[in-house]
Structure 1
Amino acid sequence: MILVFGGTTEGRMVAQLLDIQQMEFYYSTKLGSQQDVPGRHTAGAMNAQQIVEFCTANGIRLLVDAAHPFAVQLHENISQAAALLGLKVVRVERRSPEYALANVRFFDSWQGMAEAALESGVEPILALTGVQTIVPLKDLWSSRRCYFRILNTVQSEQLARASGIAMSWIIQDSNPESEEALIELVRKTDAQVILTKDSGYSGGLEAKIAVSQQLEVPLWVLKRPSLPAFDYVVYERKELLMLLLRLKKELLATEELRPGFTTGTCVCAAVKASIIALEDGAFPNDVTVYLADGTPARFAIFPNKLDDDVASCSVIKDAGDDPDVTHAKEVGCTIYRREDVGVEFKRGVGIGLVTLPGLQVAVGEPAINPVPRTMIAQVVEEMAQHYSITGGFTVEPFVPEGEELAKRTFNGRVGVEGGISILGTTGRVFPYSAEAFMGAIRQQVRVARSLGCNEIVATSGKRSESTLKPLCEGVPANAYIHFGNFVGETIKIADEEGFDRITIGIMLGKAVKLAEGHLDTHSREVTFNSRFLANFAQSLGYAEDVVEAINNLTLANAVVDLIPFSVDEPIYQNIARQCHSVCQQAAGDRLRVRLVLIVGNEAPIVVG
C-alpha cells in the first residue's frame, strides 16, 4: 500500500498512474480533495506522529510527497515519519521556468516582500499567492491597497473571512492560470506590482511571467523553500512511472509472484494510441489492449510526435516479477500511413536485426517474432474498422535503450544484432517461467544447428563457460548454451535437434543433485540431500567421522572443507562419473555426453 500526499497537479498525476498500474494507494489532502482522483481518500492535516500511526494501521510501504512546494511543515512531517518507519519517500517536484528578467525580483520570505512593498509605497498590489498567505502579509494589506486572488471554493472563502481582511479586496477566480484571465485581472485592479511564489510550471509561474512582461508590471517572486533530503526526486510523468515500476518490484513485492506484459503487448498499446492520435488529433492519456485470453492490459501513454501521416508514442514496460532486462524501460512505436492495406514492419532504434538462420524470423528482418506481428496486425485491423481507414500502416517499434539492454541477453549468440527482440506468445510475462526459458534454449540450439555445429556446450553460467572453453576448442560461441537448472531438458532439445555431442559443465552444488538423479536442479524442485552424499562417501570407504560430518552439512560445497578437492580424489571422481551416467541415460544411444565437474578454480574432472 502507498500513501500519496496530494491536492496538487502532481498529486493527480501520481494517482492516475497508480490507478493505471493497479497499485493500491491512499490519497491524502489537508482539507479534503477538490480533485476527481482515484484511490482511497483521507482528509485532514497530519503531523509526523499521526503519519506514523496512519502508515502502521494501513500497511503503508512507500510514501509519495506530491504536495505543494511551499507546504514546508508537511514536507518535514513526511521526512520525519519516514525516518521513524524506515520507509522510502518519492518526492514529485515541479520544474520552474528559467528566467533572467529585469522586472522579476526574488525574495526569501513574505516578510521581506511586504517590507519592500511598504518602503516603495507602490499600490495597488495584486497578490497571486493564495489564501494561505493573507495572514503572513497582513502588515501589507493593513496599510496598502492589496487584492488577493483566491480559488473559488467554500474553504478558501472561509479562510479569507477568518483572516480579517475586507472581502472587497478578495477576488475569487475559478480559472487562475489563464494568461487572458490574468491580463484582465491586472488591468481591472490597475495593479502596479504582482506578488507570487515560485510554484513552477504546473503552478502557473510561466503564465505570470509572460503577463508581467507583456504589461510591463513588476513581478515579485518568493523563492521556493528547500526540501528535506528525500530518497527519490522525480519531475516528469514518464520518469515517475519508471521509478514506481522499479519500486513495485523492489519494495512492494508480495509472496505471490506477479506476471507482467511482453514487449509485443507494449508495442500493441503504442500502435493503438498512435492510430487514435492520427484519427482524433491527440494522444489519449492511456489505452487498453486485450491479450489472447481476453484479459485487458492498460498502459499510460507518452506522446513523442504527431503529424498528418506520422504518430509516435511509447509506454513503460511492466514485466512483473520476472528478471526481464526491459522491466521499467521505454518501449514504443512510430507508425506511418501507407496506401496499401495491411502492416509493413520496419526496424526502429534499439530493435535487433536478424543476421543468422534458425530463428522464427528471416535473415535481414527486424527481430519481431511472428506472434507479436500477428498481435500488432490485429490491433491495426481493429482500429481500421473502428475508424473506417482504407489504407494500412508501416509499424516501426523502438526501444531507446535496446542496444545497450541487448548486451545483457543472449541475442548476440542467436544472431540478433544491435538491439532486443520483440517477443511474446500470450502477451504475458510469467516470472521465472520454465516454458520461456526452455524456449530460449531451443532457439539458441536451432541457431547453432543452422550454422552447421554438431556439438553443444551447455553450462550453468558464465563462470563454468570460461572453464570449458579450453576444453572445447573449435566450438563457436553460438554453440554455448546456458541451461540454468534444466539439464535434462537441454539434453532432450540437443537430441531432438540432431546434435551428435553435448558437453555439460556443472558446478559441485548442482552436480550432487544431478548425481542423485535430478535432471532439474532448481532449489524449487530439489534441495541438497546430505544423507545421499554421506552414503555416497560411505560407499567409497571414507571414515565414519567424515561420513557423519557430511551428513550434518547444509551446503554441498562445504564438503570441500572436509575433503579437499583434487582431480584424483575418489568422491569427486565418482560424483562426476555418476552425473555422466545420469545424463547419458537421458540422452539415449545416439547423442554422446561429456561431463565436466567444476570445483572452484581447480582443474576440472572430465568424463566421457
Structure 2
Amino acid sequence: MRDPVTGFVYPDAWVERCQDPYRLHLAEEGLAVLTASGTVIVRGYTTGTTAAAACMAAVLTLDGPPALSVPVTLPCGLVVDVPVDAEGGRATARKFAGDYPGDVTAGIEFVAEVLPAAEGIHITFGEGIGRFSRDTPRYKKDAPAVSPPAFACIEESVREAMETAGLPGVRIELTIPKGRAVAEKTLNPRVGVFGGISVLGSTGLVEPWDDHLTESSLGRVSAAGLPVLTTGRIGLRFARLRFPEDDVILIGGKIGESLAVVRDEAVLFGLPALILRHIRPGILEGTGYGTVEELAASPLFGPIVRETLAEFSAHNPGIKVILIDRKGTVIGETV
C-alpha cells in the first residue's frame, strides 16, 4: 500500500497490524497516515484548503441552492469533500485539524462573500488574514500572507465553481473573523506577519505530527541504511529526485529526535530555516534579519552557512547536510 501524498510504501507488517478497515481505507486514499503500530492517524485540511472551500461554496450558491459540502482539488492532486454552510453567495467553512492535537487553528471559521462581476476572478483578503510588516524575498510589505499553492488552490476552486454556475466573473471577500486573536498563538508575529493568520498549504493536507507518527518516523530512521531526513514537502520532493535509492523520510521539526536514532550515517536535506535553527539556534543574532529566509537573500548568508555547517560537520561527521532553495538548487552543504 502506497501513501498517495508522500509516495511512501507502507510495509506489509504495518498494514497487517491495522485492525480498523475504515481508517486503513483513509490511509490508502491519502487522508490519513498509517503508523508502524498499525494505528491510523487522520490528516487535517490546511488553511488554504479551508479558504478554497469557502470561496467555492459562495460562488456555487450565488444563484444556486444551499450547499453543505464542496469538492476541492488539493495541490497534491487529491479531491476531498469539505463541509461548508453556504447559501445565497455567502459561505463559511471551519478548519478540520484531523488528529493533529497541536493545531491552534483547529475549528477556526473562514467566511467568503461573493458578488457577480463582468469578468475574471477578483479576491480580497480581509479581516483576520495576516499581512507582511516588511518586504521579504517572496512578499512585499502589506501583501496578504497567502502562499502561492494556497492561492492557486483557491483560484482553481473558484474557477471550477464559475464554470458550473455559468458566471463570467466574481468578486469575493474572504475573512477569518477570529484570525487576529488566533494569530497570537502562532509564529506569525515572530516572522513579521501581523493582523491575522496565514493561508497556507503546499499539499492541502496537514500532517498529524503526534507521538504515534513521531514513533513511526523514528522507527524508519533507525532501520534505514542511509536515511534521508527532510523537514517539509519541498525537501521531500527534491530529496526523492536526488536520492531515488534511499529511504527519504519526512520528519518535520523532529530533527534532534531523528538524528539521535541514526545508526551510522544520514543525510539532512531541505529548506534552510528549520535545519539551520536546529544546528545553530542563534543564527539570526546580530544579523539584523528576522527570518532565515531574509538572511538567505543577503550577502551574509554564504559565510554564516559555511561556518555553521563546517562546525556541525566537525562534531557530526556521519551526518551530511544539504540545504536547498524552493527551486531545489543547493545553497549550502557539508563537505
Q: TM-score, normalised by structure 2?
A: 0.56
1:300 pairs with 2:83: yes
Change (3 A) 1:319 1:518: farther
Partner of 1:398: 175
Runs of 4+ in 1 over 4 A off after TM superposition: 436-445, 493-498, 585-588
Instruction: Tell me, yes or no, if the aligned pair for 1:356 and 1:363 is still in contact at 8 Å.
Output: yes
Describe how 1:424-503 pairs up with structure 2 within 5 A: 424-432=201-209, 434-436=231-233, 458-460=276-278, 468=282, 472=285, 474-476=286-288, 478-479=290-291, 498-502=301-305
Quickly say closer, same or farther: Cα 1:288–1:460, change in 2 above 3 A. Answer: same
Structure 2: distance between partners of 1:406 and 1:495: 28
**8 A contact 1:353–1:419 mirrored in 2:** yes
**Of 104, 117, 124, which residue of structure 2 is paired with 1:346?**
124
> Larger helix proportion, structure 1 or 2?
1
- Secondary structure of 1:270's aligned partner: helix
Partner of 1:268: 52
In structure 2, the partner of 1:24 is none
2:74 to 291, 306, 317: 291
Match of 1:534 in 2: none
Q: Does 1:409 align with 2:189?
A: no
What is the CA–CA distance in structure 1 between the aligned matches of 2:62 and 2:272, rounded to whole Å? 40
Q: C-alpha separation between the residues in 1 aligned to 2:299 and 2:233?
A: 18
Tell whether 2:145 aligns with 1:367: yes
> Structure 2 vs 1, CA of residues 517 and 443 (structure 1 numbering), >3 Å: closer, same or farther?
closer
2:232 partner letter: E
Residue from 242, 245, 258 that aligns with 2:42? 258
Residue ranges of structure 2 left out of the alignment (5+ in a row): 1-18, 21-31, 210-229, 237-251, 254-269, 322-331
Equivalent position of 1:357 in the other structure = 135
Does structure 2 conserve the Cα–Cα contact (< 8 Å) formed by 1:343 and 1:394?
Answer: yes
Q: Which whole-Å deviations, capped at 9, do the CAs of 1:386-420 have from their partners, x for residues lacking one?
A: 22212x22233222332233233332343322111
Q: The residue matched to 1:499 in structure 2 has which SS?
A: helix
Q: How far does the alpha carbon of each residue in 1:230-277 deviate from its partner, in whole angstroms, 9 at most, with x for none?
A: xxxxxxxxxxxxxxxxxx9xxxx9723332222111111111211122
Q: What whole-Å deviation, never above 9, does each CA across 1:62-90 have from its counterpart, x for those lacking one?
A: xxxxxxxxxxxxxxxxxxxxxxxxxxxxx
RCO greater where, 1 or 2, for CA within 8 Å and sep 6 or more? 2
Distance 1:402 1:254 in 2: 36
Partner of residue 63, structure 2? 279
Q: 1:393 to 1:587 in 2, by over 3 A?
A: same
Task: Tell me which structure has the larger Cα radius of gyration.
Answer: 1
Q: Equivalent residue of 2:144, what SS?
A: coil
Q: Distance in 1 between matches of 2:272 and 2:165?
A: 42
CA distance 1:437–1:385, change in 2 (3 Å): closer
How far, CA to CA, are the matches of 1:256 and 1:516 in structure 2? 36
Amino acid of the residue matched to residue 202 of structure 2?
Answer: T
Counterpart Cα distance in 1 of 2:301 and 2:287: 16
Taking a change above 3 Å as real, the CA distance of residues 480 and 372 of structure 1, as seen in their structure-2 partners, is closer
| Residues 138-189 of structure 1: per-residue CA shift (max 9 Å, x gap) | xxxxxxxxxxxxxxxxxxxxxxxxxxxxxxxxxxxxxxxxxxxxxxxxxxxx
For residues 365 and 480 of structure 1, do their structure 2 counterparts lie closer, same or farther at Cα, with a shift above 3 Å needed? closer
* Change in CA separation of 1:355 and 1:372 when aligned onto 2, cut-off 3 Å: same
Alignment pair present for 1:315 and 2:98: no
Contact in 2 for aligned 1:330/1:400 (Cα 8 Å): yes
Distance 2:275 2:203 in 1: 30
Contact conserved, 1:361 with 1:370, CA < 8 A, in 2? Answer: no
Distance 1:419 1:254 in 2: 38
Whether the 8 Å contact between 1:342 and 1:377 is mirrored in structure 2 is no
Say whether the 8 Å CA contact 1:285–1:301 is kept in structure 2. yes
Number of aligned residue pairs: give it.
Answer: 237
Distance 1:375 1:479, change over 3 A: closer
Does structure 2 retain, via aligned residues, the 8 Å contact 1:345–1:396?
A: yes
Identify the match of residue 109 of structure 2 among 318, 330, 333: 330
Q: Structure 1: state its 5+ residue gaps.
A: 1-57, 60-247, 446-455, 482-490, 505-510, 521-584, 589-608
CA distance, structure 2, for counterparts of residue 407 and residue 290 of structure 1 = 30
Return the offset for 1:313: 2.0
Shift of residue 351, structure 1, vs aligned partner: 0.3
Counterpart residue identity of residue 83, structure 2: A
Residues 352, 416 of structure 1: 8 Å contact kept: yes
Computed over aligned residues only, the root mean square deviation of the Cα atoms, in angstroms, reads: 4.5
The whole-number CA distance in structure 2 between the counterparts of 1:313 and 1:394 is: 14
Native 8 Å contact 2:60 2:164 kept in 1: no
1:376, distance to aligned residue in structure 2 (A): 1.9
Shift of the 361–293 alpha-carbon distance from structure 1 to 2, 3 Å rule, reads same
In structure 1, C-alpha distance between the alignment counterparts of 2:160 and 2:91, rounded to whole Å: 19
TM-aligned CA distance change 1:497 to 1:480, over 3 Å? closer
Question: Following TM superposition, by how much is the alpha carbon of 1:478 offset from its aligned partner in structure 2, in angstroms?
Answer: 0.3
Q: Deviations over 1:332-377 (max 9, x none)?
A: 32323322x2222222221011233335343332222222222222
Deviations 1:281-303 (A, max 9, x none): x4212222222455221122234
Task: Work out whether residues 52 and 157 of structure 2, in 8 Å CA contact, stay in contact via their aligned partners in 1.
Answer: yes
Q: Distance in 2 between matches of 1:497 and 1:397?
A: 38
SS at match of 2:159: helix
Alignment-mate amino acid for residue 185 of structure 2 = R
Task: Give the C-alpha shift of residue 438 in structure 1.
Answer: 6.3
Alpha-carbon shift at residue 519 of structure 1 (Å): 5.9
Residues of 2 paired with 1:358 and 1:434: CA distance? 22
Q: Is the 8 Å Cα contact of residues 150 and 201 (structure 2) preserved in structure 1?
A: yes
2:275 and 2:147 map into 1 onto residues whose CA distance is 26
Asked if structure 1 preserves the Cα contact closer than 8 Å seen for 2:320 and 2:334, the reply is: no
Q: C-alpha displacement at 1:327, in angstroms?
A: 2.6
